[in-house]
Amino acid sequence: MEIQGSVHTAVFIRRDNRFTATVKIGHYLTQAFVPNSGRLEELLRLGREVLVESKGEIPGRKTAYEILFAKGAKGWVSVDSRVPNKLFMEAFKDRKIPVFWGYQNVKPEVSYRKSRLDFCLSGLTEEAAERKPEKYFLEIKSVTLVKDGRAALFPDAPTERGSRHLSDLIDAKKEGYGAGILFCVQRPDALYFTPYDENDPLFGRMLRLAKEAGVNIMAYRCLVDEKSVIMDRAIPVRL
pLDDT in tens, the chain (239 residues): 888 778 999 999 999 999 999 999 999 999 999 999 889 999 999 999 999 999 876 666 789 899 999 998 889 999 999 999 999 999 999 999 999 999 999 999 999 888 899 999 999 999 999 899 999 999 999 999 999 889 999 999 899 999 999 999 999 999 999 999 999 999 999 999 999 999 999 999 999 999 999 999 999 999 999 889 999 999 999 99
Task: Assess whether 181 and 209 both reside in one domain.
Answer: yes
116 burial type by CB count under 10 A (0-12 exposed, 13-18 middle, 19+ buried): middle
Residue 79 has φ and ψ, to the nearest 5°, of: -105, 0
* Domain total in the chain: 2
Cα→Cα distances 50→9, 40, 113, 229, Å: 6, 13, 39, 15
Domain encompassing residue 191: 83-234
Which of 72, 95, 128 is where one domain is finished? 72
What per-residue confidence (pLDDT) applies to 55?
83
The answer to whether residues 68 and 142 belong to one domain is no
What DSSP designation does 34 have?
-
User: Do 51 and 89 have their domain in common?
Assistant: no
pTM over the 0.85 mark: yes
Residues 214 and 106 in one domain: yes
| Same-domain check for residues 101 and 175 | yes
CATH number for position 87: 3.40.1350.60
pLDDT the model gives residue 59: 64
pLDDT value of residue 60: 66
